[in-house]
Amino acid sequence: MRPSERLPDQLRPVTLETDVNRYAEGSCLVSFGHTKVLVTASVEDKVPGWMRNSGQGWVTAEYGMLPRATHTRGRREAAAGKQSGRTQEIQRLIGRSLRAVVDLKALGERQVLIDCDVIQADGGTRTASITGAWVAMALALKRHREKGLLAGDPILDQVAAVSCGLYKDLPVLDLDYDEDSTAETDSNFVLTGSGQIVEIQATGEKRGFSREEFNQLFALAELGCNELFTLQRHAIAG
C-alpha cells in the first residue's frame, strides 16, 4: 500500500486555479496534492539581445522555493547571492518544455517569461510547475490574441509532466515526498498532448531498473499526463 493509500496508477488530487494574480497576463496556482506552485506568465514586446532582429520570440522560465516551502526553513537564494544547481536545472527544464510546443516565429519578437514559485513542496515541484506553466502561458497568449496583438495562436500543442517511480518495487504514478525519498527508481516524464516525448529524467536511486520496468513507468506517465491534459483544457476554457 502506498503511504497516501492511492492506487498505483492514481494521481494525487490535482487542481489548476487560474487568474490568481490580477497583474500577470496569465497565472495559475497548481496543486499536486500538498505540492503547490504559483505560476505567472508575463509577455514582453522585446526579446533578449542575442535574439534581436531574428523575427522570432522566446519563452523562458525562472523557478524558486519560498523559505517555508519545506519542513524546515530554507535560506532565500537571493540572500545567498546565487542560485543552486538544482534551481538552474529545473528552470531550464521548464523553459525547454514550453518552447517545445510553441512556434517561436509565430510569437514574433516578444518574450514570455514564466515565474514558478513553490509555496509548498511535497514532491513533484518540477512536474507541477511545467503543468501549471502551460496553463499560465496559454492564458497570457490567448489574451494577447484577443487584444489583436497576435495574429494567430503560437501554441502548437499541450505539454505536461508527471513523476513515476518504483516504490517497494511497485511502479507508481505521481510520487509524493514519502515515496520519492525512499523510491528505488525516480523518473520525470515531460510529454505533449500529441504523444511526443519532450524529456525523460530517469534515475536508479537504489538499484538499476529493467527495460520492462521502464516501459511500465512510461505507460503510467502517459496515463497521468492524459489526465493532466484534460484538466489543462478545462482550466483555460473556464
* pLDDT greater at residue 184 or residue 51: 184
Tens of pLDDT, residue by residue over 72-96, are 898 888 778 888 888 899 999 999 9
In this predicted structure, what is the pLDDT of residue 79?
A: 79
| Average pLDDT, integer, range 116-131 | 97
In this predicted structure, what is the pLDDT of residue 12?
A: 98
| Average pLDDT, integer, range 123-150 | 96
Residue that the C-alpha cell 490580477 belongs to: 22
| Average pLDDT, integer, range 165-177 | 96
In this predicted structure, what is the pLDDT of residue 76?
A: 85
Residue 36, C-beta contacts closer than 8 angstroms, at least 6 positions apart: 29, 30, 118, 119, 120, 128
Is the predicted pLDDT of residue 238 greater than 80, yes or no?
no
| Average pLDDT, integer, range 130-157 | 95
In this predicted structure, what is the pLDDT of residue 53?
A: 84
Give the DSSP per-residue string, 69-109: SSSSPPPPHHHHTS--HHHHHHHHHHHHHHHTTB-HHHH-S
35 confidence band (pLDDT: 50, 70, 90): very high
Pairwise CA distance, residues 160 & 137, whole Å? 13
At residue 114, the 3 state secondary structure works out as strand
CB 45 within 8 A of CB 107: no
**Mean predicted lDDT score pLDDT of the chain:** 95
In this predicted structure, what is the pLDDT of residue 83?
A: 87
The β-bridge relationship of strands 58-65 and 111-120 is parallel
Is the predicted pLDDT of residue 186 greater than 80, yes or no?
yes
CA angle centred on 109, ends 147 and 150, rounded to 5°: 20
Q: Is the pTM of this model over 0.75?
A: yes
144 confidence band (pLDDT: 50, 70, 90): very high
In this predicted structure, what is the pLDDT of residue 145?
A: 93
pLDDT above 90 coverage of the chain, percent: 84
In this predicted structure, what is the pLDDT of residue 71?
A: 87
